[in-house]
Amino acid sequence: MLHGFFHNKKGVPPPATHVEEVGYTQEFVLAKGFAQVGNFDVLIGDDNTKRLFAEMTADRDRTDVRPIEAYLAILGSMHPGWKFRILQLYWPDPEPRLVFRQQVLAWRQPNEGMSILKDGLLLALDKVGLPFGKRTFLEFVYADEESLTWLEALPALCNNFGVHFAFLTRDDITHLSRWIFNPSLE
């Protein structure tokens, strides 16, 4: 923080006649921009760390998906000092609504009652908030080339457990950070 007085050459502040405090926004700045590390877009943190992001998904229909074992494999393969976190966010999921809407639009109305039902369903779909689905993201702090090699190997490691990775682009990271700090709960 900047203050309205400065020290003289001997390190002694001048007499305090008027102290003016100038605010700053640095504590609200969470990132300094983007860079490229290997094939990945990274977010440069306010502490100059390079943060890589990936979304982890699994097929809900598969019975052999074992996310806990995938997490254990991730933790077991990490080196001491590497940093990551897993974010599980409840995110608006428009897909189920869009699929149902398409099915309703395809209905034939053989009579007036079915036509009223169809109109009512479409109206309800337009007025009710979106359903939420859980999304899982991995945030990893780049340490060195070895950590980048490890990150590149994670999809193959976790695929054995039915867990898939999609590394985020700059636009995806921006969207994710906006969602975290300004969630739209509609």
Per-residue pLDDT tens for 54-103?
A: 999 987 777 888 988 999 999 999 999 999 888 888 777 777 778 888 88
Is the residue at 99 inside a domain? no
Structural tokens at position 56 = 């982890």
pLDDT of residue 14: 54
Cβ-contact 53, 167 below 8 angstroms: yes
Looking at the 3D structure of the chain, how many domains does it have?
1
Q: Which of 88, 69, 93, 81 is nearest to 184 (CA)?
A: 93
Q: What is the mean pLDDT of the chain?
A: 81
Is the residue at 77 inside a domain? yes
Asked whether residue 52 carries a pLDDT value surpassing 70, the answer given is yes
Is the residue at 70 inside a domain? yes
Structural tokens at position 118 = 């169809």
State what percent of residues in the chain have pLDDT above 90. Answer: 35
Asked whether residue 175 carries a pLDDT value surpassing 50, the answer given is yes
89 vs 10 pLDDT, higher one: 89
pLDDT of residue 105: 86
Is the residue at 78 inside a domain? yes
pLDDT of residue 13: 54
Its domain, for residue 176, covers 30-93+130-181
CATH code at position 78: 3.30.70
CA terminus-to-terminus distance, the chain: 38
Structural tokens at position 149 = 């090699």
How many other C-beta atoms lie within 10 A of the C-beta of residue 177?
A: 14
135 vs 79 pLDDT, higher one: 79
